[in-house]
Amino acid sequence: MNQNELAAKQKRTRQIVTIIVLIIVFIMFVIPFLLVLINVFKIKGDITSDPLALIGEHGFTLQNFPDAMEKMDFWNVFKNSAIITFCATVLTILFSAMASFVIVRNQNWKACALLFALMIASMVIPFQVLMVPLVSVYGGIFGILNSRITLILMHTGFSVSMATFMFHGAIHSNIPLELEEAALIDGCSRWQTFWKIVFPLLKPTVATVAIIDAMAFWNDYLLPSLVLGDKNLYTIPIATQAFYGTYSTDIGLVMAALLLAMLPILILYLFLQKHIVAGVTAGAVKG
Partner 1 sequence: MASLSLKGIQKIYPNGYHAVTDFNLEVEDKEFIIFVGPSGCGKSTTLRMIAGLEDISEGEFLIDGVKMNDVEPKDRDIAMVFQNYALYPHMTVYENMAFALTLRKVPKDEIDRKVREAAKILDLEKLLDRKPKALSGGQRQRVAMGRAIVRSPKVFLMDEPLSNLDAKLRVQMRTEISKLHETLGTTIIYVTHDQTEAMTLGTRIVVMKDGIVQQINTPEHLYNKPCNLFVAGFIGSPQMNFIDAVVGRDGDNVTLTVGENVLTVPEDEKQILLDGDYVGKTVVLGIRPENISDKEDFLANNQDHIIKSKIKVREMLGAEIFLYFDVNGVQMTARVEPDSPLMTGDEATFALDMRKIHLFDKETEKNLLYGE
Give me the DSSP letters along 260-281: HHHHHHHHHHHHHHHHHHHHHH
CB closer to partner 1 out of 5 and 178? 178
Q: Which of 182, 222, 266, 267 binds partner 1 (CB under 8 A)?
A: 182
Q: Which of 176, 229, 273, 280 binds partner 1 (CB under 8 A)?
A: 176
For the CB of residue 166, give the shortest distance to partner 1 in the complex, in Å: 19
Nearest-angstrom CA–CA distance, 64 and 61: 7
Q: Rounded to whole angstroms, what are the CA distances from 219 to 47, 136, 212, 213, 231?
A: 25, 24, 11, 10, 17
Q: Which parts of 206-265 interact with partner 1 (CB under 8 A)?
A: none
- Interaction between residue 178 and partner 1 (CB under 8 A): yes
For the CB of residue 203, give the shortest distance to partner 1 in the complex, in Å: 8
**Burial (Cβ within 10 Å: 0-12, 13-18, ≥19) of residue 215:** middle
The answer to whether the beta carbons of residues 171 and 101 sit under 8 Å apart is yes
For the CB of residue 34, give the shortest distance to partner 1 in the complex, in Å: 41
CA torsion, points 130, 133, 134, 137, in degrees to nearest 10? -160
Ranges of H-type helices in 123-147? 127-135
With CB under 8 A, what is the number of residues at the site for partner 1? 18
Q: Which amino acid type is present at position 23?
A: I
- Interaction between residue 113 and partner 1 (CB under 8 A): no
- Interaction between residue 197 and partner 1 (CB under 8 A): yes
- Span interacting with partner 1, options 51-59, 141-149, 151-159, 171-179, rule CB under 8 A: 171-179
- Interaction between residue 192 and partner 1 (CB under 8 A): yes
For the CB of residue 100, give the shortest distance to partner 1 in the complex, in Å: 19
Q: Rounded to whole angstroms, what are the CA distances from 276 to 85, 90, 214, 280?
A: 18, 16, 13, 6
CB closer to partner 1 out of 199 and 218? 199
- Span interacting with partner 1, options 80-88, 131-139, 183-191, 229-237, rule CB under 8 A: 183-191
Give helix then strand counts, H and E, for the chain.
Answer: 14, 0
- Interaction between residue 57 and partner 1 (CB under 8 A): no
Residues that bind partner 1 (CB under 8 A): 108, 176, 178-179, 181-189, 192, 197, 200-201, 203
